[in-house]
Amino acid sequence: MTENQRSIVLKVAQASNENEQHSDHRFETERKITRNFQQQLKEMQPGIKLHPSIYPEESLERALKVQTNSGLGPDLVIADSNQALSLLALGLTDPIKLTKEHQNLINPAALERVKTATGSLAGQPISQYLQLACFDKRKLKKAPKTLKELSEASGTGTVFGMVTNLQDLYWSLGSFGAGEALTASLAGQKVTVAAHERLTQWMRWLKESSYQQNIVFLRNQAALRKAFIEGEMNWISCWSSQLPQLREKLKDHLGIAPLPSGEFGRATPITRLQVWALGKNSSRRQRAESLNLLDFMVQPWAQKTYALKYRTGFPVNPAAAMIVSKQLPPGFSKFSEDENKRVSRGDAIVSAIDAKPRLKKDIQSTLNELIFDGLSPENAATELETQMKAKR
Amino acid sequence: MTLSMSYLITVNPGAILNELLSWLAYLNRGTVVLQLLLVGIVMVAEQRGALRRRVEHRLVPEYIRVLIGPLILLISSALFLLAGLPWGLLRYFGLLWLGWMSFTPLKTLILSINKKFPVDELESTFLRPIYVIVASTSFIRLMGSTENLAQTPVANLFGVELTLGRIYLAIIAIYVIMTLSSRPATFLAWLSGVLFGVRPRNRRGLELLFRYSVIIVGIIGVAYFIGIDGTAFIAIAGGLSVGIGFGVKEIISNFISSIWLLFEGSVRPGEILMVNGDPCTVRKLGLRATQLRRGRDGAELLIPNQIFFTQEATSFTATETSRRDSVVVGAAYEHDPDIIIELLKTIAKEHKKVLEYPPVNAFAIDFAESSINYKVLFWVSNPLDSFEVGSDIRRTIWKQFEKKGITIPFPQRQVYPMEWPPSLQQSHHSAGGGGVMPQGIQPELTGNDEKPNSEA
């Protein structure tokens, strides 16, 4: 048998990271990366031929349902941890069984995020995406390290851009220590006066920022990136998964930094895990090769190589993380296992909100009213706590 | 202007081929093969008539019996679902088949409600295309990401990357524009009729003009949609100008002629033109040729538009539609011409298709050998009627003359059989006294059986 005959095609369904963007070039950058990855993998795993299809995040579940019902479902599904869990719950993927040895290769905090209530794993974490600050080196020599510096820089004509949804603004909660109030509200507990005050302070900062001429709030990340690429903004909050697009456009002028801290503490950026889950319809051989590939993907070599090559995510393998952290851009290098634990609270809050569309909508409208309309920070803080307690 | 072919268009089917090949991976899965096998078996059984034979012919009409195959697939998909096996492919093919087969019962149903409903047109222009679109998109959704596949680049036209999705949408859009352009055009023509008092005859020309405009605007819109911009249009125009010079000169010439003729209004649908002496009705002014129907024998003539543009044509409908025709008749010398003329006028006037104005007229036109010839001239509103009206008038003239004792003389010739040599009596009689037929010249033979007496 020749090598070609032995090679097997694995169908991969991938949820897009460029979700908020509804344009003709929606998946262009992702397609390029995927194609490149296919080539790279071919060299290392000649027996496996990946055939990826990129889906908009919002339609992944529906598409997988139709395909899985027909027996045409993918062999592998690439999604974030929340989506991987919900796909497993819907019966669209199979849980994955990892040996103890295999589990040791993966950061325990990351594994925890794909674990269901019964303890089974919805997928295998491969990489994690971080929230960062992206800036144009031509306009800004150094990214602001604190919110105070940010405010000062905006006074000197640098334009800062942020998105008005909680997931994208969550990093700034850490700077005020306001996360506690939200965690308590979400758990249905009483919010302490101090925690409530810190949440109100965060709201105040948001309101004040919205009054500033050079701090601009947009409704989605795509609009923010577009404005940044076109030079209308000099600093934006961004996601590591979206860096390739920015790198392509800004080349060497793109600067990456950690998000600014506040007086209370450091920023708490959200992370998104890239999780690979097993499709339901694979044949025996397809399943075996999929598991083979999953094993390969968490080995230190693959983790290190792909993290350094694409520079979009942080390895989930702690050994690989150690190796690459020095070679990755500043925003990444600060990220460590400790950091992982620190930010996991934010991830939990955001994923809980994501799972409740109505709550998400209510929170969004409160933030919009605060930033664009006349809602006072005090009222907004109370409203947010009430909404989270009601958990609709 | 020189443009290399590679700049104009490059096709890269690799991506699609790759996608198609990846579909083969599904054949590794037992459940997929099982479903496909079942679909195949049911389809072959249906093809051979094995399913339909089992159902009593008289009880169930044919259009219901053809639904048995698809229903079997749908039922088995339900069974697969119950058994916990993948079932979607069975349902997909079942529904697809059911959809295809339900055209006939649907048409029967519509016809039973309204007999005049254009069901065939509805089926070919609307139902079947919709079916194809739904079937193809749902198939792609089954096999992979529609959005992903739609963005697969397959060709490059004038430097514009054409993705599969854009090509697909462009084909649908062009089809929709081509089929539906007549509706807004009819509406605009109707509107201009209401607003500006355009006559119905002119409206049809106007409608065609509007339709071309809608199609042209639509195609330009589609081109812009797929990303072909101004520069590309200049490239196309450059290419076309060379093409027009050589190859497509006739086509363009015919097309421009058709537009011009529409504007000029001389050859519009409904016009009556004389082509080689025959009145013909213009049926359709096409892009290349005009379709006419010859009144004489109903033949359809397709005449290139530029013929009308460059050569003379006789029209009975260019500015007004009425046509003058005449009937010639002879009456014996013994009748008073005044009476005859008056009678002819009356006969013509009384025909209901003869116009009152311009008035009917009759003239004595010739003192002929055996009769005085008269010509009655009349006008009809529809040129195609003149033939029939002429015949009616001739018939009435004959009847009226018969009634009034007016004879229509006709030259009479008496022919006698001759003998040779002629008897004296016969010779005197036939030669009128002095004439003697020269020897050696045969007399004129008549049509009867008698033979010249050559033996004598």
Residue pair B207/B187 in contact (Cβ under 8 Å)? The answer is no
Residue with the larger pLDDT of the pair B9 and B399: B399
The DSSP letter of residue A149 is: H
Find chain B residues with C-beta within 8 A of A27's C-beta: 147-148, 151
Among all chains, which residue has been given the structure tokens 């008038």? B393
Residue B81 has pLDDT above 60, yes or no: yes
Residue B453 has pLDDT above 60, yes or no: no
Q: Do B31 and A24 touch (CB under 8 A)?
A: no
How many contacts does A have with B, using Cβ atoms within 8 A? 87
The CATH class of A130-270+338-390 is alpha beta
Residue among B259, B280, B260, B262 at smallest CA distance from B201: B262
Give tens-digit pLDDT for B170-205. Answer: 999 998 888 888 777 888 888 888 888 777 766 767
Is A51 in the B-facing interface, judged by CB distances under 8 Å? Answer: yes
Residue among A357, A277, A348, A213 at smallest CA distance from A64: A277
Q: Do B26 and A56 touch (CB under 8 A)?
A: no
Residue A32: closest CA among chain B residues belongs to which residue? B152
Output phi, psi for B329, to 5 deg: -145, 150
Q: Do B88 and A66 touch (CB under 8 A)?
A: yes
Please tell me the least confidently modeled range out of A79-93, A165-179, B56-70.
B56-70
Q: Do B143 and A63 touch (CB under 8 A)?
A: no
The SS3 of residue A363 is: helix
Q: Identify from A24, A38, A53, A77 which residue to disrupt to test chain B contact, counting B C-beta atoms within 10 A and taking the largest count.
A: A53
Q: Which of B25, B86, B151 has the CB atom closest to A69's CB atom?
A: B86
Is A76 in the B-facing interface, judged by CB distances under 8 Å? Answer: no
Residue B87: closest CA among chain A residues belongs to which residue? A70
Model pLDDT, residue B58: 62
Sign for the CA dihedral angle at B395, B399, B401, B402 comes to positive
Q: Do A70 and B25 touch (CB under 8 A)?
A: no
Calculate what percentage of chain B has a pLDDT beyond 90. 26
Query: SS3 sequence, B292-350?
Result: EEECCCCCEEEEEHHHHHHCCCEECCCCCCCEEEEEEEEECCCCCHHHHHHHHHHHHHH
Residue pair A123/A93 in contact (Cβ under 8 Å)? The answer is yes
Average pLDDT (B291-297) is 86
Cα gap A226→A222, rounded to integer Å: 6
Q: Do B22 and A11 touch (CB under 8 A)?
A: yes
Q: Identify from B18, B29, B96 which residue to disrupt to test chain A contact, counting A C-beta atoms within 10 A and taking the largest count.
A: B29
Residue A20 has pLDDT above 70, yes or no: no
The segment with the largest mean pLDDT, out of A34-48, A117-131, A314-328, B176-190, is A117-131
Q: Identify from A69, A94, A280 which residue to disrupt to test chain B contact, counting B C-beta atoms within 10 A and taking the largest count.
A: A69
Please tell me the least confidently modeled range out of B76-80, B308-312, B322-326, B442-446.
B442-446
> A128: buried, middle or exposed (CB in 10 Å: 19+, 13-18, 0-12)?
buried
Give tens-digit pLDDT for A342-380. Answer: 666 777 787 778 778 788 889 999 999 998 888 999 999
Find chain B residues with C-beta within 8 A of A282's C-beta: 29
Residue among A19, A30, A24, A13 at smallest CA distance from A243: A30
Q: Do A71 and B29 touch (CB under 8 A)?
A: yes
Model pLDDT, residue B456: 34
Model pLDDT, residue B4: 47
Residue B441 has pLDDT above 60, yes or no: no
Using only the alpha carbons of chain B, give its radius of gyration. Answer: 38
Q: Identify from A70, A75, A285, A290 which residue to disrupt to test chain B contact, counting B C-beta atoms within 10 A and taking the largest count.
A: A70
Residue B293 has pLDDT above 80, yes or no: yes
Q: Do A53 and B149 touch (CB under 8 A)?
A: yes
> Which strands sit side by side in the sheet containing B160-163, from one edge to the other?
B9-11, B153-157, B160-163
Chain-centre distance for alpha carbon B159: 40
Distant-in-sequence, close-in-space partners of B266: CB < 8 Å, separation ≥ 6: B308, B313, B315, B318
Residue-averaged pLDDT of chain A? 86
Output phi, psi for B401, to 5 deg: -60, -40
Structure tokens, B331: 């009456």
Model pLDDT, residue A243: 87
Q: Does domain A3-128+273-329 have CATH number 3.40.50.2000?
A: no
The amino acid at residue B432 is: G
pLDDT band at B53 (very low <50, low <70, confident <90, very high): low
Q: Do B145 and A69 touch (CB under 8 A)?
A: no
Structure tokens, A355: 């799972």
Beta bridge partners of A135: A235, A255
Residue pair A160/A234 in contact (Cβ under 8 Å)? The answer is yes
Sign for the CA dihedral angle at B26, B28, B29, B35 comes to positive
Give tens-digit pLDDT for B335-348. Answer: 999 999 999 999 99
Cα gap A209→A201, rounded to integer Å: 12
Residue A211 has pLDDT above 80, yes or no: yes
Model pLDDT, residue B365: 93
Average pLDDT (A308-329) is 83
Using only the alpha carbons of chain A, give its radius of gyration. Answer: 21
> For chain A, which residues make up each domain, given as ranges?
3-128+273-329, 130-270+338-390
Calculate what percentage of chain B has a pLDDT beyond 70. 86
Q: Where are the beta strands (DSSP E) in B83-176?
A: 153-157, 160-163
Q: Do A31 and B151 touch (CB under 8 A)?
A: yes
Q: Do B147 and A69 touch (CB under 8 A)?
A: no
Model pLDDT, residue A157: 85
The DSSP letter of residue B270 is: T
Give tens-digit pLDDT for A257-270. Answer: 888 988 888 888 88
Q: Which of B142, B147, B148 has the CB atom closest to A72's CB atom?
A: B142
Residue among A268, A246, A79 at smallest CA distance from A166: A268
Model pLDDT, residue A18: 62
Residue with the larger pLDDT of the pair B449 and B178: B178
Measured CB to CB, residues of chain B less than 8 Å from chain A are 18-19, 21-22, 24-26, 28-32, 35, 85-89, 91-92, 141-145, 147-149, 151, 163
Distant-in-sequence, close-in-space partners of B395: CB < 8 Å, separation ≥ 6: none
The amino acid at residue A218 is: L
- Going along chain B from its start, the domains and CATH numbers come out as 248-315 (2.30.30.60), 323-404 (3.30.70.100)
Cα gap A337→A343, rounded to integer Å: 10
Residue A201 has pLDDT above 90, yes or no: yes
Is A78 in the B-facing interface, judged by CB distances under 8 Å? Answer: no
Cα gap B234→B20, rounded to integer Å: 36
Q: Do B25 and A10 touch (CB under 8 A)?
A: yes
Is A72 in the B-facing interface, judged by CB distances under 8 Å? Answer: yes
pLDDT band at B48 (very low <50, low <70, confident <90, very high): confident
Cα gap A143→A256, rounded to integer Å: 8
Residue B428 has pLDDT above 80, yes or no: no
Q: Which of A27, A282, A285 has the CB atom closest to B151's CB atom?
A: A27
Residue A27: closest CA among chain B residues belongs to which residue? B148
Q: Do A285 and B28 touch (CB under 8 A)?
A: yes
Please tell me the least confidently modeled range out of A57-61, A297-301, B99-103, B438-442.
B438-442
* Helix (H) or strand (E) segment spanning residue B300: strand B300-304
The segment with the largest mean pLDDT, out of A155-169, A340-354, B68-82, B135-149, is B68-82
pLDDT band at B154 (very low <50, low <70, confident <90, very high): confident
Structure tokens, A96: 């994955």
Give tens-digit pLDDT for A184-198. Answer: 888 888 889 999 999
Please tell me the least confidently modeled range out of A59-63, A310-314, B424-428.
B424-428
Cα gap B388→A46, rounded to integer Å: 87
Average pLDDT (B248-252) is 79
Please tell me the least confidently modeled range out of A36-45, B145-154, B298-307.
B145-154
